[in-house]
Amino acid sequence: MIRVLLCDDHRVVREGLKQILADAGDIEVAGECADGPEALRQAGIQAIDMVLLDIALPVQDGLEVLRLLKQRTPRLPVLMLSTYPEKQYAMRCYRLGASAYLNKSADADLLLLAIRKVAAGGMYVSPGMAEAMAADVGRHAGKLAHETLSQREYQVFEAIAAGRSVGEIARDLAISPNTVSTYRARILEKTGAHNDVGIALYAVQHQLIQL
């Protein structure tokens, strides 16, 4: 049996996934949780073969949880689930160590295929993302500016693009306003923007946010 830890903050989603996995016959949910800290705790004590992890989580977002999981248990496979399109987050997930990225609208058969492949030590990458990853190989000098941002820089970048103030960002990310300003300065330098409006325009131009 493939033992899975399921982390999603929506109970309805968890129940639906549990039913799909139960019907498979060779997969069981060994644990479930609704936030990042609990996922990290359970991953450290549960006998599991992989983690199904949502990106949009309370307390700690799924990308941060993924980063910490790979630090603590680098050989534990993680399959990321999201409502976001691949072009927005998949590449970041793979770079952080994810073994698969699936949209929650994916067919059940595709989910099961990805789980089995990941549990066997492989990776699941969609054809479209495989092309994008292939094009990215050896293209470091030609990366888009937002692709060079660190995880925390990208969080601040998204918040600025969404119109959040330094104080709001500091509160939401539990960091100091000075730290936010430091990240903002790095973002301005990397994107070539001159101010917060420029950051927002960059995000819109690259379809990273929607107006």
pLDDT at 114 exceeding the cut of 70: yes
**136: Cβ–Cβ under 8 A, 6 or more apart, which residues?**
91, 143
Q: Which tokens sit at 18?
A: 């549990």
pLDDT tier, 140 (very low <50, low <70, confident <90, very high otherwise)? very low
Place of tokens 């600025």: 160
Cβ-contact 99, 52 below 8 angstroms:
no
Task: Please compute the mean of the pLDDT values over residues 100-110 and round it to a whole number.
Answer: 91
Report the alpha-carbon distance of residue 138 to residue 159 in Å, rounded.
30
Q: Name which of 167, 157, 168 is nearest 200 in CA terms.
A: 157
pLDDT score, position 126? 81
Sheet containing strand 27-33, edge to edge, reads 27-33, 2-7, 50-54, 78-82, 100-103
Cβ-contact 64, 151 below 8 angstroms:
yes
Query: What average pLDDT does the chain have?
Result: 88
Report the alpha-carbon distance of residue 184 to residue 160 in Å, rounded.
8
Cβ-contact 7, 33 below 8 angstroms:
yes
pLDDT at 49 exceeding the cut of 60: yes
pLDDT score, position 135? 59
**159: Cβ–Cβ under 8 A, 6 or more apart, which residues?**
168, 169, 172, 173
* Domains defined along the chain, listed by start: 2-136 (3.40.50.2300), 142-205 (1.10.10.10)
pLDDT score, position 136? 56
CB count in 10 Å sphere of residue 105: 7
Report the alpha-carbon distance of residue 94 to residue 111 in Å, rounded.
17
State pLDDT tens for residues 52-87. 999 988 888 899 999 899 989 988 999 999 988 777
pLDDT score, position 55? 92
DSSP states of 156-175 as a string? HHHHHHTT--HHHHHHHHT-
pLDDT score, position 133? 64
Task: Please compute the mean of the pLDDT values over residues 43-47 and round it to a whole number.
Answer: 91
